[in-house]
Amino acid sequence: MRRYLEGVASLEETQELEALIVKDASVRQDFLRYTHLDSALAGVRRSQPSVVVPRRSVWLSWRPLAAAAAGIVFGMFCTSVVFGFVGQRQALKKTPLRMMQPGFEDARMPLVKGFPPGPALWTGDVAKVVSAEHGITPKDGHHMLRLETSEMGAPLLFPRLYQIIALPPSTAEEREIEVSAAFAAADTSSTPHYSIRVYAVDAAPEALGADWFASRDEAIAMAATGFDKTPGSMGWQSFGLRIQVPRKARSLVVFFGVKNKAKSPAKLPHYLDAVQVSFIESSTLP
């Protein structure tokens, strides 16, 4: 459970946890209690020592449930890992947020290094928009983003990509947002850890500044998930998360990263495609 909540559980560990939750009611209860405790402890604001302020969206963006019998739905979904317990069928409506080039279809798209200076701009480490190469075909459309594994001969162990998204005003106390993407590795022998992180911020996008990521723990909501590529696997791996964003949030920072293993660094690039960021609305079906 701890490894899953920290986003470092392997596919096999996640499947084992899924199986235990499906067949054992006591494990379901333990998972609920453990997740609630993890969220509460992570949400204590250091700037307010006399008041405990739980951050509503930590790791799995978990919503406390009235009882286990009401059902469980939780938020890691890979191409081969989708699980949950649902008491009622629900119809989901997805409304995409306005962001820059989620499919990387503009081959001349500007890419800036470092943290974004403002909204609607992809920034990060060494990256380039490309078409099919190294046996990897774009997940959607005709282009994808290549994340380099080295720069000027030096290995890049943590290539990453950011974008700041301006959130429209809302009258709802909270909004649910889903973020997903697809990763692929040209080096089939590599075993990287792919990750997605999302931060909700109560400041306007242009007010974040180039050093904001260093103080990211001040975000009013945060969620993260990850996926470990197994040796020899090929093709795209799609996964994502959902986060509950408070009404006062004005910006959303999305982060997509790769952690290369230092003992066996990838010799070929990684690829990112099919980024989706959407508001989620649900309604119970009859």
- How do residues 234-274 score in pLDDT, each as one tens digit? 789 999 999 999 999 999 999 999 987 666 667 889 999 99
pLDDT band for position 108 (50/70/90)? confident
Q: Are residues 110 and 85 in the same domain?
A: no
Q: Are residues 151 and 235 in the same domain?
A: yes
Per the structure, the complete domain to which residue 46 belongs is given by 2-90
Q: Are residues 263 and 128 in the same domain?
A: yes
Average pLDDT of the chain to the nearest whole number: 77
Instruction: Give pLDDT, residue 135.
Output: 92
Other beta carbons within 10 Å of 171: 5
3-state helix, strand, coil in the chain (%, to 5): 15, 35, 50
Q: Are residues 58 and 116 in the same domain?
A: no
Measure the CA angle with vertex 275, ends 272 and 277; round to 5°. 155
Instruction: Give pLDDT, residue 7.
Output: 64
Instruction: Give pLDDT, residue 37.
Output: 59
Instruction: Give pLDDT, residue 156.
Output: 75
Range scoring the smallest mean pLDDT among 61-65, 66-70, 182-186, 218-222: 66-70
Could you say which of 46, 75, 90 is where a domain stops? 90
Tell which wins on pLDDT, 35 or 31.
31
Q: Are the C-beta atoms of 13 and 1 separated by less than 8 Å?
A: no
Q: What is the pLDDT of residues 35-90, one digit of tens each?
A: 655 544 444 433 333 333 333 333 333 333 222 322 333 333 333 333 333 334 45
Tell which wins on pLDDT, 283 or 5.
5
Is the pLDDT confidence value at 9 over 90?
A: no
User: Residue 195's closest CA among 171, 169, 222?
Assistant: 222
Instruction: Give pLDDT, residue 6.
Output: 63
Could you say which of 40, 55, 90 is where a domain stops? 90
Residue with tokens 């508001």: 279
CA distance 61 to 262: 30
Domains identified in the chain, total number: 2
CA distance 206 to 203: 8
